[in-house]
Amino acid sequence: MNSSPRSSLTGKVKRRPWWVKSLTGWSYVIYEMLFQRMQARHLKNPLPLPPLDDVTCIVTGSTSGIGLETARQLAFSGAHVVMAVRNQSAAFDLIKKWQTERHGTTLLSIEVMELNLLSLSSVVKFAKALNSRSKPLQVLINNAGMFSMGEPQKFSKDGYETHLQVNFLAPALLSILLLPSLVKGSPSRIINVNSIMRYMGFVDTDDMNFTLGKEKFNSTKAYSSSKLAQIMFYSVLQKRLPLEAGISVLCVSPGTVHTNVTRDLPKLVQGVYNLIPVFLFSAQEGSRSALYAATDPEIPEYCEELKADDWPTCAYISHYCRPTRAAKEAHNTRAANEVWEKTLDMTGLPLDAVEKLLQGEEAMCKYTDS
């Protein structure tokens, strides 16, 4: 893999008006939708995976869509899969279905653990339970996400806008808290399912909750901004992790995938959306970039090269399983560090949480007992 040419912004960047970013962002979405099949024509579906015996993978949001396909294919390749989900009964039903598909062959190694990303205390509880096993974790796939298209602004019980918490804050907290298990599983990987809509995102660390009136809320702004913040946060995390920790950090784009995000929109809009499935990836096709990032043997070396070159962002894998650039705004290292510090504050972690956890110390989180 060859890293892209160096590009870094270290100062404040004047933000373009939302309507300009929106037009630009939707142009990227339309281009991806029209040409993604041609770009990914070299990929097989499903993506062939190597044997994954003795590999433990956590997949969040694994009862539907991309997460379901990701968990299924990892398990079918021999991995021990932890389905981190809210709806545990749905997960157990899927395991029975998948085992039936195996026609009585070797039992799949899958377990179900409760994780509600709308509750930061649930994240802390999950991480504490996982780490208490003192077993290695090789792959964490932060897949779960939400895009309540056209819906009014909502907040979690922790007081954060729901797109912000589910798509970004909760997975960020989970990733930090699971560092002890990921170090035990070294070489290990943290993989974050991102989106082409990162191109229309912006991050204002003074108003990430869209409550100060600086930007009028809409779900597209919230979703795209949470995906941009994700790249910025994990870019800083990759830099703060020493090479000897053996943890690779990546974001991946699944492509434009046929999902149920339009379920709350008018029937006419849903009808138009359902007329274009020929251009859209299926969930199985959309899972390929995450599966590639989780299993390709060249990924650790590629991530190390980016770090050695002081590349401003973490590795980013396209929907056609090739390295690509993140959004330009994600290259602003000063803004990324502001996002890092703000995120640790919002998730109740100390600024030296990573260093403490890597040294085997405890990093107290204010949501531990909530």
Residue 147, exposed/middle/buried by CB under 10 A (0-12, 13-18, 19+)?
buried
The structure tokens listed for 56 are 């433990």
Q: Are 365 and 124 in contact (CB under 8 A)?
A: yes
Alpha-carbon dihedral sign for residues 332, 341, 315, 34: negative
Cβ neighbour number for residue 248 with a 10 Å cutoff: 26
304: exposed, middle or buried (Cβ count in 10 Å: 0-12, 13-18, 19+): middle
Q: What six digits make up the tokens of 213?
A: 């009136």
Q: Within 10 Å of residue 160's Cβ, how many Cβ atoms? A: 21
DSSP 18-45: HHHHHHHHHHHHHHHHHHHHHHTTTS-S
Residue 28 appears among annotated catalytic residues = no
DSSP string, 322-339: SB----GGGGBHHHHHHH
Q: Spell out the SS3 assignment of 237-286.
A: HHHHCCHHHCEEEEEECCCCECCCCCCCCCHHHHHHHHCCCCCCECHHHH
Neighbours of 325 (CB within 10 A): 13
Q: Determine which one of 223, 234, 302, 316 is catalytic.
A: 223
By annotation, the residues acting in catalysis are 223
